[in-house]
């Protein structure tokens, strides 16, 4: 079983002792909100390959949820997560409660104009402020050498990379490609919300990326045309209820008019009542 810590002071003490041992132990860190799936496990596998010690945090961070969002019903099962962590060879799990993480509501605000106010930031005001606070706080607690973030949450990855750069945080962020189910749906803890029929429609997100990529590969580089094709394709599916955005940007999330290799498609889609996000790197490669 991994060592389970509930208290900041205790995990700090543990990490300090390990690092003070003088044998240069490298710590890999995988921050999660739990209800682990293959995507999380891929981050863990990479951390285990690249570090002596792997720490996983499991904490559903209330600060990054807006009013009316799914904070209360977000899936939680610590015993299941601990069993998966054990199987994956995780050394330490940090699972604080709200009282431990936020004895007082944090009053700091973190914004990166041009980054946290677009896409997810527009539709979920305050979301990235919450993400930034929890990630920085967890970095300060765990003091990892490397931290692992999925490309599934591409904008979040870019926000964390920018924070690390702007604030000279001594953590190396490692991006991990999106892990998908057999039919292309990106693994997500929120997929458990989907009914079987919705689950089927949800794979249209992946198929819309392939459609856009095919258009691109046949010479169509107009972003508006590709976005329109994606929207039309998605809305043909019975349970795709609403699209928050379909955007095409360069790798730094600046919108583009002419699409080129390496640009990203980013979407947020309601399938039934479940809001799913996903993204895709456009390339000339055959899938
Ligand atoms: P979450 O528990 O959803 O906050 O995710 C924790 C970490 O796992 C984040 O860095 C996510 O980007 C990453 N992650 C979530 N889903 C996937 C996936 N399907 N493939 C790769 N990484 C993922």
Length of the chain: 287
Q: pLDDT tens track of the chain, all 287 residues?
A: 999 999 999 999 999 999 887 778 999 999 999 999 999 999 999 999 999 999 999 999 999 999 999 999 999 999 999 999 999 999 999 999 999 999 999 999 999 999 999 999 999 999 999 999 999 999 999 999 999 999 999 999 999 999 999 999 999 999 999 999 999 999 999 999 999 999 999 999 999 999 999 999 999 999 999 999 999 999 999 999 999 999 999 999 999 999 999 999 999 999 999 999 999 999 999 88
Which residue owns the Cα nearest ligand 1 atom 13? 150
Choose which residue among 33, 40, 181, 182 to substitute to test ligand 1 binding: the one with the highest number of ligand atoms within 8 A of its C-beta.
Answer: 40
153 Cα–ligand 1 center, Å:
7
Q: Report the alpha-carbon angle 14-133-170, nearest 5.
A: 55
Beta strands in 171-285 (DSSP E): 172-176, 240-249, 264-271, 274-281
61 Cα–ligand 1 center, Å:
14
Q: What is the residue-wise DSSP string for 263-283? A: -EEEEEEEETTEEEEEEEE--
21 Cα–ligand 1 center, Å:
32
Q: Would you give the distance in Å from CA 247 to the centre of its chain?
A: 18
Q: Would you give the distance in Å from CA 55 to the centre of its chain?
A: 17
């Amino acid at each position: 079983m991994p060592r389970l810590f509930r208290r900041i002071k205790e995990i700090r003490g543990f990490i300090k002792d390990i690092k003070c041992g003088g044998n240069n132990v490298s710590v890999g860190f995988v921050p999660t909100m739990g209800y682990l799936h293959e995507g999380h496990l891929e981050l863990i596998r990479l951390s285990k390959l690249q570090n002596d010690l792997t720490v996983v945090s499991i904490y559903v961070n209330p600060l990054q949820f807006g009013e009316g969002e799914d904070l209360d019903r977000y899936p939680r099962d610590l015993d299941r997560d601990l069993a998966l962590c054990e199987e994956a060879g995780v050394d330490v799990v940090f699972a604080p409660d709200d009282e431990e993480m936020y004895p007082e509501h944090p009053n700091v605000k973190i914004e990166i104009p041009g980054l946290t106010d677009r896409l997810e930031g527009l539709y979920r005001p305050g979301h990235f402020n919450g993400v930034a606070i929890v990630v920085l706080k967890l970095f300060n607690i765990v003091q990892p050498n490397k931290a692992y973030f999925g490309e599934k949450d591409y904008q979040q990855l870019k926000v964390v990379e920018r924070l690390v750069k702007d604030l000279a945080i001594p953590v190396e962020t490692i991006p991990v490609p999106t892990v998908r189910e057999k039919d292309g749906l990106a693994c997500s803890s929120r997929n458990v919300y989907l009914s079987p029929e919705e689950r089927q429609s949800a794979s249209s997100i992946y198929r819309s990326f392939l459609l856009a990529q095919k258009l691109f590969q046949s010479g169509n580089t107009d972003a508006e045309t590709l976005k329109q094709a994606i929207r039309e394709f998605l809305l043909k599916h019975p349970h795709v209820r609403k699209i928050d955005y379909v955007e095409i940007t360069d790798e730094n999330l600046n919108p583009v008019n002419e699409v080129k290799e390496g640009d990203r498609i980013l979407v947020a889609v309601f399938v039934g009542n479940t809001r799913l996000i996903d993204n895709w790197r456009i390339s000339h490669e055959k899938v």
